[in-house]
Amino acid sequence: MTTAVEFFCGIGGLHYGLEYAQPDAKVVQSFDTNTVANNVYFHNFKQKTSTKGIDILKSKDIKEANLWLLSPPCQPYTSGGKRLDTKDNRTAGLLNLIKLLPEVKPEYFFLENVPNFEVSESRRLLVTQLIDLNYKVDEFLVSPVSIGIPNDRKRYYLAAKLTESKHEYDLENTTFHTNLDKYCPNFTRSSLKLADYIDPEADFSIYQVQPKDIRKRTNFVFGNNTLIQMLFNLQKPYEKCDNEELIASKPRFFTPTEIRKLHYFPDSFGFPKDTTLQQNTYIQDYNSIALILGQLGQTSELERFDLNLLDLEIKQILIGLPLSDRFIVKLCKHMRPEIHGKEMHYEFRQWICNSYMNAIRYALDSWYIPDGLDFENACRQGSLPVVNILIDDDRVDPVGDNNLAFIKAAKYGHTDIVERLLQDARINPSDKDNEALKEAIAGGHVDIIKLLVNDPRVDRQLAISYAHQHNRLDILISSCE
């Protein structure tokens, strides 16, 4: 029987795909940090998702399974973003899993992402690791249209199988499969008629685009499979069109049921009763929430939208989107004092990852109460400006949880942060049996080792003993030169 661990599981799209391919397969563990998505996952699979950061997982944290399923964040690669690739902190989880592969070696490995991933450094690191470990790798660039679903959103897929010998693979001249007939010979194709996916029971009036929102725009483009016209030709394109003609076609957004069908989710899929319509639609399709705001195109276009037209729930969802630092501040000011809820801790930590300094300062000065996890996250991510802000905040205990923030900074090689923390009298680098030194030695961070062994509070003899025990004396000697 196939057993799987699902990373970045979201609401379980790959889980359903596995069940469709192998009905007797079992997902034994799942990971994601989005609490709303995790509630939806539990509602459908009756399985609790771990919220432990994938970027800090160790092999011992991952249950034994013969298949890994991954759907890592697409923002580092998407055409609508900055395409920072491995320089984007959101790739940390994937990069950590790549490092763990030699220790775990699942029999099968499957990853899904957006086009552009195939030309990324992340993909090069992943495929190189898989080939070095004797995996046979196949890569795909395909759209649901190829299997008969009228949802033309091309995606990148990687499928790998562990073998006994190494396979030659040309990373620079890879042939990406674009036809699935060879791999799915018995697949029953669906209908390509969009009309077959219309929700017959929906009240379409609540999904209609308001004429005033259409008239605001001079270039209203249908795209991303998120709007349809209720009158005239469903396939009719509208670009740089007469807005009055567009209004007459009565455009509306897809309903959650229609989005579910277009993504081939089963009829049994549902949402918890406390999930709002906006969350419901957003979770199923990222672009749909953008269109609920009356915008089409890149996410950055949302920044031009009139915030007075949005309700609180949509504003809260907007906070989590990859918008500019300046706009996030504007949004927070506009919705104060309504901001509340545990989800804001998650969003605040995302701002740390993105170095949204203005948003962080505003939040701390107005409504946000930081905690030890925020400080730990800043140290782990290597964000010195955020560390400098939080360490001077009386509400933050920099030595909480047995000096964990300092240990994380040493483990991930953030020399500037280790140096800054050592200037604070509250930080004892020898806490937790010199764990920070051990992590620095294990990671080969010479500059940090040098800082620590020259601190009188650190046990040098322990450093020598630990380095010898783990065959890292060369690192220790280099740090002492």
Listed residues 117, 139, 162: the one ending a domain? 162
Q: How many CB atoms lie within 10 A of CB 18?
A: 20
Q: Which two tokens stand for residue 173?
A: 């001249």
Distance CA(460)–CA(453), nearest Å, equals 6
Specify if 346 maps to a domain.
Answer: no
Distance between alpha carbon 346 and the CA centroid of its chain, in Å? 12
Looking at the fold, whether 49 and 119 belong to one and the same domain comes out as yes
Tokens of 172: 């620079």
Residue 433 has pLDDT above 60, yes or no: yes
pLDDT-derived band of residue 44, with 50, 70 and 90 as boundaries?
A: very high
Lowest mean pLDDT among 16-25, 239-248, 290-299: 290-299
Model confidence at 420, in pLDDT bands (50, 70, 90)?
very high
Give the residue from 274, 305, 336 where a domain finishes.
305
- Domain count of the chain? 3
List, in sequence order, every residue forming a beta bridge with 27; answer none if it has no partner: 4
**Is there a domain that residue 317 lies in?**
no
Instruction: Examine the pLDDT at 29 and tell me if it is beyond 70.
Output: yes
Q: How confident is the model at residue 104 (pLDDT cuts 50, 70, 90)?
A: very high
Asked if residue 329 belongs to a domain, the reply is no
Supply the pLDDT for residue 32: 93
Catalytic residues: 74
Residue 291 has pLDDT above 80, yes or no: no
Which pLDDT score is estimated for 314? Answer: 54
Shared domain check, 222 and 137:
no
More confident residue, 446 or 61: 61
One domain, residues 16 and 144 = yes
Confidence bin at 111 (pLDDT 50/70/90): very high
Pick from 118, 94, 96, 104: nearest CA to 177: 118
For residue 185, being part of any structural domain is answered with: no
Residue 326 lies in a domain: no
Reported as a single tens digit per residue, the pLDDT across 453-470 is: 888 888 777 767 766 666
Does residue 351 sit within a domain? no
Residue 441 pLDDT more than 60?
yes
Per-residue pLDDT at 335: 64
What's the pLDDT score for residue 299?
Answer: 45
Q: Do 23 and 136 belong together in one domain?
A: yes
Average pLDDT over residues 406-420: 91
Residue 220 sits in a domain whose CATH number is: 3.90.120.10
Q: Are 266 and 383 part of one and the same domain?
A: no
In whole angstroms, how far apart are CA 179 and each of 96, 144, 169, 263, 369? Answer: 31, 11, 20, 19, 52
Whether residues 16 and 147 fall in one domain: yes
The residue from 255, 270, 305 where one domain ends is 305
Query: Both 254 and 117 in a single domain?
Result: no
Give me the mean pLDDT over the 161-171 stretch. Answer: 91
**Does residue 81 lie in a domain region?**
yes
Q: What is the mean pLDDT of residues 10-35?
A: 91
Asked if residue 295 and residue 229 are part of one domain, the reply reads yes
Q: What is the CATH number of the domain that holds 419?
A: 1.25.40.20
Q: What percent of the chain has pLDDT over 70?
A: 71
Taking 50 as the threshold, does the pLDDT of residue 294 lie above it?
no
Res 2: pLDDT: 93
CATH code where residue 136 lies: 3.40.50.150
Cβ atoms of residues 15 and 47 within 8 Å: no
Identify whether residues 155 and 49 lie together within a single domain. yes
In a domain? residue 419: yes
| Shared-domain flag, residues 277 and 134 | no
Its domain, for residue 221, covers 194-305
* Same domain? 18 vs 111: yes
Same domain, 152 and 21: yes
